Amino acid sequence: MKKIIGVTFLVLAGLAIILVYRAETVFENRQAAAADLVADFPLDEQGAVQRFAQAITYPTISYDDRSNFDAAAFRDFAAFVETAYPLVNQQLKKTVVNDYSLVYHLPGDDSSLNPVLFMGHMDVVPIDPISRDSWTHDPFGGVVADGTIWGRGTMDDKLSVITLLEAMEQLLSEGIQPHRSVYLAFGHDEEVGGQDGAEQIAAWFADQNVRFEFVLDEGGVITEGIIDSVQAPVAIIGIAEKGWINLELVVNAPGGHSSQPPDHTAVGILSAAIVRVEDNPFPANMDYMMMTINAIGRYMPFMDRLFLANRWLFSGLIERQLIKDPGNASGVRTTTAATMISGSPKSNILPTRASAIVNFRIMPGETGKTVRDRVVGLIDDERVEVNIASNWDPSPLSPTDSAAYELIASTIRAFDPDVLVAPYMVRGGTDAKNYYPLTDNVYRFILVRVNADTIRHVHGIDEHIAVEEYLRAIRFYYHLITRAMN
Ligand SMILES: [Zn+2]
């Protein structure tokens, strides 16, 4: 008996050594301190805060129902940009794309260098009328109180637009002469898909055969306490984004009076189909989660590393843990969400047509077609039509060993040497998805610290940003643009 325990112990000890060895060798994070890159400069902080507060007052709202589009709000916002940023207005070449989107160009003196593009979007999501009274300050009041700027767009995404403009105005006031061309592009309908804004801007660039060294959009931030068991803040740079497909499930039936119903009405057949799809979630794919974890893994507690570095042994366990939480699950698999449904228009009429929309967010490696094929197989019922209502396939992956990625990462580290930098797959959609034909290097990041609380307010009640964070974001762009154009 003793002997067996001894042997078992030896085997376990050996396994543990192998596991530890793997844990130490799998993870690496290149750290480059470069504090001298981000020397401070005098910034008109009070003016910058006032201009941001003013920018928030324009209700540049994107509505799902395009007939609500408020053209005047966008024109007024553009006019505000013109007067608030006089040097940008005088020295950069401005192009208005599709009536409302704005592109600014600062030409470099070395035409052999591909230009860089910094992006943001001017539109914001609406205020839910039910919750409007719950806002501490008017969402379009441009209120600055308690060291905080309040209102819709303070995070998503007038933050990008205004901090880019502030940084550019500052650089122009110092008489910069870039070697590399710099573009700023601000779309006007990101929150409803970007077809009228970013998609048209990208097409406009394509017409001129512009190739970018890199494109930087919103979509990554510095997270604090969001990634389990990692104490240090983590800057996540978006290098890919999920795609999506809306599948319309339709059941047609003869109809009639509800007093003489069949066993299953069109609504019943449709409901059973939806349940079959929901009950069979897409398989987990850990590759993209691991991409992030591999970059920060050595800062995780030992046991976590042990598990993650040895997925070949523990993968089932890790996946089961991860997919318990919807936030984590969305990072490892194509998600399924039945969102819209309709049937008969009257309670005593049998439906002749029942339909539903199921929204899927597609992992890289899959496509709208593979998702539809799987759904048709799961439903396995000829009475249920499965139509593609709309579809955008997942993006390719931008490299993490490009000079552009290193430029962004090293500028982040120079700002805050304690920050870990990691690549990340963005789960929502961004305007950046339109730029893959124009560059291999599409990244998503803005230097703003986000925790579980602040993220709750984005698209929600009491969206806000600390003045200090806003000013840091300006300084980050100032240095990033400076480094990019030289
Ligand atoms: Zn946004």
DSSP string over 47-96? HHHHHHHHHHTS--B--SSGGG--HHHHHHHHHHHHHH-HHHHHHSEEEE
| Angstrom distances, CA of residue 347 to CA of 256, 258, 335, 351, 364 | 12, 8, 33, 9, 43
Q: What is the pLDDT of residue 37?
A: 65
* CATH 3.40.630.10 placement within the chain: 37-238+395-485
Res. 399: pLDDT tops 50: yes
Number of Cβ within a 10 Å radius of residue 248: 15
Tokens 């964070």 belong to residue: 469
DSSP for 340-379, please give it.
EEE--SSTTEE-SEEEEEEEEEEPTT--HHHHHHHHHHHH
Contact 242, 331 (CB under 8 A): no
CATH for 240-392, among 3.40.50.300, 1.10.10.10, 3.40.50.10300, 3.30.70.360? Answer: 3.30.70.360
Give the C-alpha separation, 465 to 288, whole Å: 29
**Cα–Cα nearest to 120, from 160, 154, 88:** 160
pLDDT tens across 428-465, in order?
889 999 999 999 999 999 999 998 888 889 999 999 99
- pLDDT tens digit sequence for 352-372: 999 999 999 999 999 999 999
* Ramachandran assignment for 288, one of left (phi > 0), alpha (psi -120 to 50 degrees), beta (any other): alpha
pTM: 0.86
In the DSSP assignment, the letter for residue 219 is S
Chain segment 117-144, per-residue pLDDT in tens? 999 999 999 999 999 999 999 999 999 9
Residue scoring higher pLDDT (32 or 220): 220
Decide: residue 176, CB within 10 A, 0-12 exposed, 13-18 middle, 19+ buried.
middle
Amino acid at 469: E
- Report the separation in Å between the CA atom of 89 and the middle of ligand 1, taken as the mean of its atom positions: 24
Q: Alpha-carbon distance 98 to 198, whole Å?
A: 10
Gyration radius from the chain CA atoms: 25
- C-alpha span between 12 and 331 (Å, rounded): 33
Mean pLDDT of the chain: 89
Ligand 1 center from residue 384 Cα (angstroms): 36
Closest by Cα among 396, 317, 415 to 33: 415
Dihedral Cα 347, 353, 357, 363, nearest 10 deg: 140
SS3 content of the chain, % helix, strand, coil (to 5): 45, 20, 35
For the record, the structure tokens of 46 come out as: 């009070």
Average pLDDT on 254-281 reads 97
Determine the distance separating the centroid of ligand 1 and the alpha carbon of 147, expressed in angstroms: 23
pLDDT at 308: 66
- Asked if 64 contacts 455 with a C-beta cutoff of 8 angstroms, the reply is no
Residue 18 CA to residue 355 CA, distance in Å, equals 54
CA of 176 to the centre of ligand 1 (A): 29
- Contact between 264 and 272 under an 8 Å Cβ cutoff? The reply is yes
Residue with tokens 């197989």: 377
Can 278 be counted among the known catalytic residues?
no
| Rounded-to-integer distance, Cα 161 and Cα 136, Å | 24
What's phi and psi for 304, nearest 5 deg?
A: -60, -45
Which residue in 156, 189, 190, 191 is the catalytic one? 190
Burial class (CB in 10 A: 0-12, 13-18, 19+), 202: buried
Averaged pLDDT, 103-120:
97
Q: How far is 75 from 469, CA to CA, in rounded Å? A: 28
**Mean pLDDT, rounded, for 410-421:** 91
Cα 464–chain centre separation: 18
Tokens of 475: 């300084």
Q: Tokens for 94, please give them.
A: 């401005």
Percent residues over pLDDT 70 in the chain: 87
**Does residue 18 register a pLDDT over 60?**
no
Delimit the CATH 3.30.70.360 region(s) of the chain: 240-392
Task: Check if the beta carbon of residue 296 is closer than 8 Å to that of residue 420.
Answer: yes
Give the mean model confidence (pLDDT) for residues 317-326. Answer: 74
- Is 123 a catalytic site residue? yes
| pLDDT exceeds cutoff 60 at 242 | yes
Q: Which two structure tokens, joined as six digits, stand for 23?
A: 């844990």
Say which of 123, 157, 166, 199 is annotated catalytic: 123
Which residues are in the CB-under-5-Å shell of ion ligand 1?
A: 156-157
Tell me the mean pLDDT in the region 79-90.
98
pLDDT of 5:
34
Q: Which residues of 279-303 are buried (b: 16+ CB within 10 A; e: fewer)?
A: eeebebbbebbbbbbbbbbebbeee
What is d(CA 435, CA 120) in angstroms, rounded to the nearest whole number? 13
Per-residue confidence band for 6, with pLDDT thresholds at 50, 70 and 90 = very low
Instruction: Answer whether 385's CB lies under 8 Å from 266's CB.
Output: no
230, 102 Cβ separation under 8 angstroms: no
Q: Say how many Å lie between the CA of residue 342 and the centre of ligand 1.
A: 30
Contact 277, 378 (CB under 8 A): yes
| Residue 5 CA, ligand 1 centroid: distance in Å | 58
291-298: average pLDDT: 80
Please state the rounded mean pLDDT for residues 187-204.
Answer: 97
> Of the given ranges (22-36, 164-178, 262-276, 421-435), which has the lowest mean pLDDT?
22-36
CATH topology for 37-238+395-485 is: Aminopeptidase (3.40.630)
Q: How many A from CA of 224 to the centre of ligand 1?
A: 20
CA neighbor of 220 nearest in space, from 296, 164, 157, 290: 157
Q: How confident is the model at residue 35, as a pLDDT?
A: 52
Helix (H, G, I), strand (E, B) or coil at 290: helix
User: Looking at residues 244-273, what average pLDDT do you find?
Assistant: 97
